Chain A
């Protein structure tokens, strides 16, 4: 069934969009990532103009994250206090990121910057996570049912800073400064790369803040809602590039996908989840790296200039 999108100004198959939303929604519920890093390139692929894909992607992420958070709230796997602290950092970071984005845009080469930062961050995050979770997976398999008590994470610099706060759901008593910094960093990247930033947030929460994996997914989704909503409003007001029918089709698929994803998540072990997410992140990273390294079949590209 073909449908004409009024903002994107193209006609696409509605079932494609439902399916695409569904796949991204499953990933969202499963891993606590908004899925923007996957959705945006996929939308380019089916012919949606990049500006519209980025803005509408943000809107769809709001829906699937909200649906996912509700599922996690029922299981009490959201650290609301941590989420709010991260959001404070996130919004400050996003505002800074937009300033940086506009500065770089005036210097040209903003596309390259986006792709390069994707490759670098996805590569580092995916690589580290993949190795770590494989090691963890092997260890847990070796120990088997012996169930050796997990060694407590070493006290690192995160635990020595002032302004300590108790995060009961995460079982942490740490300074609020590291979460705010993590939120800010993700906010900056989110604004530059046009994604929710979950794929960076999730590992940062596990490895920097030392939060338990089960809580990380719900809390990440919770923080993504606000960042993605902020991004959507910004795009809607400045660029007029949010396509409502497109978002609607994506999010109908997406919200159901998110529910299925968070169901699937309960059946997998935390280490398995991390290996899968790491593999996915590395896959997208590899694809983007190839685009930069291989000679494109068409050297020229067309853009409508203002």
Chain B
């Protein structure tokens, strides 16, 4: 909250410099730590739009996107073969974000033109296509749609039209919920100022998501010292098995 206030003062202070539209924004936190008790997180994207004083004051809209690390993703399709359902066809999407959220002040197709979407890859299908549907684009269409459908269902892709609220004429805020199944990596928050379907100004901010403490230690050990990690797992298993047996023997005797 203190950072928000600081940013606000900064923006108001700069209000004299004459330029076209400018957007300044920040996140309530620039790092998210995944601890043992991590059960999702909440970040606030906030900022202000400054317009040229001489220009006529026209209304504008805001779109906020938050995207997670991209991954090469395989989508498979099941078909009935000889009475049973088996995976028959598949398509590789060369890079799909593991998390993607679009929030806006209003309905997206009213405030975002086809061209601007293509250029800035704002909507979910564009965000996937931007990085490229590799193999066969025409037949790949149902596969990308399926990917979006599956990820919307599990909450990793979301569209929140009306999720950005304006405070007064220049300030805006968007609340972003990060689910507990997010992956580690760099997340990018992008803010677009829209008018008549066109992007007037944009701003990008980085959000780092990282495992810390015990989570970090276990993960690193499993990756880097796999044999030791495996033996440790077995030792714990044997010790627990023995302990339970000993406790039960003791309980029966007493």
Residues of A bordering B, CB below 8 Å: 2-4, 6-7, 9-11, 47, 59-60, 62-68, 70-71, 74, 109, 111-112, 229, 232-233, 235-237, 240, 242, 244-245, 247-248, 251-252, 255-256, 258-259, 291-296, 298-306
Contacts and interface: CB of A to CB of B under 8 A. Distances in A.
A244 B242 CA distance: 18
A4 B36 contact: yes
B72 A305 contact: yes
Contacts of A2: 37, 39, 180
26 contacts: A11-B38, A11-B39, A62-B241, A63-B238, A64-B241, A67-B244, A232-B234, A232-B237, A237-B226, A240-B222, A240-B229, A245-B36, A245-B218, A255-B245, A259-B244, A296-B78, A298-B150, A299-B77, A299-B78, A299-B146, A300-B146, A301-B76, A301-B150, A302-B150, A303-B76, A304-B74
A3 B85 CA distance: 35
Contacts of B35: 4
B151 A302 contact: yes
Contact of A66 (B80, B180, B218, B238): B238
Interface of B: 34-40, 71-80, 83-87, 92, 142-143, 146-147, 149-151, 180-181, 183-184, 211, 214-216, 218-219, 222-223, 226-227, 229-234, 236-238, 240-245, 248-249
Nearest to A291: B85
Contacts of B184: 9
Contact of A240 (B75, B211, B226, B241): B226
B157 to A, nearest CB: 11
Nearest to A256: B244
B84 A63 contact: no
A44 B227 CA distance: 26
Q: Which secondary structure dominates where chain B touches chain A?
A: helix
A236 B215 contact: no
A244 B234 CA distance: 10
A233 B231 contact: yes
Contacts, number: 182
A59 B223 CA distance: 17
Contacts of B249: 74
A22 B20 CA distance: 65
A64 B211 CA distance: 30
Interface hub of A59, A248, A300, A304 (most chain B Cβ within 10 A): A300
B87 A111 contact: yes
Contacts of B245: 66-67, 70-71, 255, 259
A232 B38 CA distance: 27
Q: 4 tightest CB-CB pairs across the interface, nearest first?
A: A236-B230, A66-B241, A255-B244, A11-B180
B217 to A, nearest CB: 9
A292 B82 CA distance: 11
Contact of B73 (A62, A64, A294, A304): A304
Given A66-B237, A237-B226, 11 more contacts: A7-B218, A59-B237, A71-B248, A240-B222, A242-B233, A252-B240, A259-B248, A293-B85, A300-B147, A301-B78, A301-B87
A299 B245 CA distance: 46
A4 B38 contact: yes
Contacts of B84: 292-293
B85 A247 contact: no
A43 to B, nearest CB: 15
B218 to A, nearest CB: 5
Given A11-B180, A60-B237, A251-B237, A4 B244 contact: no
A248 B222 CA distance: 15
A7 B34 CA distance: 12
A59 to B, nearest CB: 5
Contact of A9 (B77, B86, B181): B181
Nearest to B79: A299
A302 B36 contact: no
A295 B86 CA distance: 10
A233 B234 contact: yes
Given A4-B36, A305-B74, A237 B230 contact: yes
B206 to A, nearest CB: 21
